Structure 1
Amino acid sequence: MNVKVAGTAGSDSRPAAPVDPAPPHIAARGVAVDFRIEERRQRVLNDINLIVPKGSFVSLIGPSGCGKSTLLKVMAGLIAPSEGDMRVAGLSPQEAVKARLIGLVFQEATLLPWKNALENAAFLLMTADETIKRREAFERAAAMLRLVGLDDADKKMPSQLSGGMRQRVAIARALALNPEVLLMDEPFGALDAITREEMSECLLDIWERTGKTVVLVTHSIDEAVFLSREVHVMGTGPARIIETLPISLPHPRTEGSYADPAFAAAENRLRGLLIESHRRRRP
């Protein structure tokens, strides 16, 4: 919006230059990734352009093997783009990782079996910050366990925890770093349907409380619609973003959100896009 500067007679009252909006928290511009397979270069991501505003919750959805996880790994600094530019909080992903701006949660919780829940939740923080005192690290980890609803399980070993509880510890471990961005690669994929719904509600509560930027890779249409402000649909051959769908469901979202007509409309749109994408993959 142009703002006119009021002034006295003879002063310059031309419109001031528009103020630039805050930079996106995550920005991909023309990102492409090539893998070398059997001496041949194969493009797996092509011309990815993506903007994720700060504090937003977005999902990446698409056919199996379409490159969703590859794109997430580019955001996390685990894979360097062959072309284009990826920025997280204005930094390269590698710089953002060093600044502890990024937290990662994978499908497998990968907890250390010889450490209890509290020790596991504190592990990454103590590894990333060698100067932090053990007591401070444990206090922060305990706070994150409370946030994910595991304050009474801090002394339990991984073998004593259910799949959903182990994944909560993994989320607490990532949050203990106090990252600005949380990247999640199918974190609930190995859970049963009811536990998955419970974890979705837990994640939504965490996002609403912390205001972090969340990017979720999922195969579940329901999960993407329930959790997200926007869903980015990826196609194949090579992978690209074929549509970005805003989700108009009001907050707070509850079990009743599944019955909202807006939920059904978004679900039907995403299902149609995925069906069309699968058809294009057929030889």
Structure 2
Amino acid sequence: MPADGRFVAGARLALTTFTTLPVRAGRIDRAVAGTAMALAPAVGALLGALLAGVLLLLATVAPPLVAAGVTVGAAALLTRGLHLDGLADTVDALGSYRRGPAALEIMKKPDVGPFGVVALVVVLLLQTATLAELAGRSWPACLAAVVAATAAGRLGVTLACRRGVPAARPDGLGALVAGTVGPPALALGVVAVALVAVAAVPDRPWQGPLAVGVALAVAVALLAHVVRRLGGITGDVLGATVEVVTTLVYLGLVLSG
């Protein structure tokens, strides 16, 4: 497939994977999947801009906590709740202290266990609380913060799909995207998200990039642990990475705010 055709197909796949936008996916193979995972932060930035608009608009007519809660709900709706589902399944598998196929079987169960429930509650509470604080900032800072955090969460997926990280199963989303992202695409994504994060805390321009860096470092450690326990990544692991990184960046942006 020509490079321009692969880029268009990858952009379509990224949009259908990370949002509910009614975009029809085209050809899907590992090359296209790699392009989609490299473009994940850009899709996150688009989603973040939409969510920032929801937050800022609602904050003009409702208390910040209400605006933040609705924004978190909108984020779940715009992503089909897939990332939250992945978070719950991944935490349940890791919390079982089982390894390999036994842990993967837990992830495939439709129910949510106690570890998963706690993880969902903590993440949703933290995201709501931090968004409520961000709603009180100037609109440029709020916009930059939400865009940076949402893009960083998808950058976590780019990180998880870098070369050298295996898939846990021979089929599924993890097998399609594992190891498809090269160093240049990952480096470009890190620089782009860090630059956006600079504007999130105008009086401390270092804080945004630092928050992104710390969140990605945690993601690296989490992914290494997942590979040891499960044998590689799965679609659920990618979803969990999105929520963990997004939440940590939000937290980093409001500390000492």
TM-score (norm 1): 0.25
Structure with the higher helix share, 1 or 2: 2
Greater gyration radius: 1
Highest RCO, 1 vs 2 (Cα 8 Å, sep ≥ 6): 2
Between structures 1 and 2, the one with greater strand share: 1
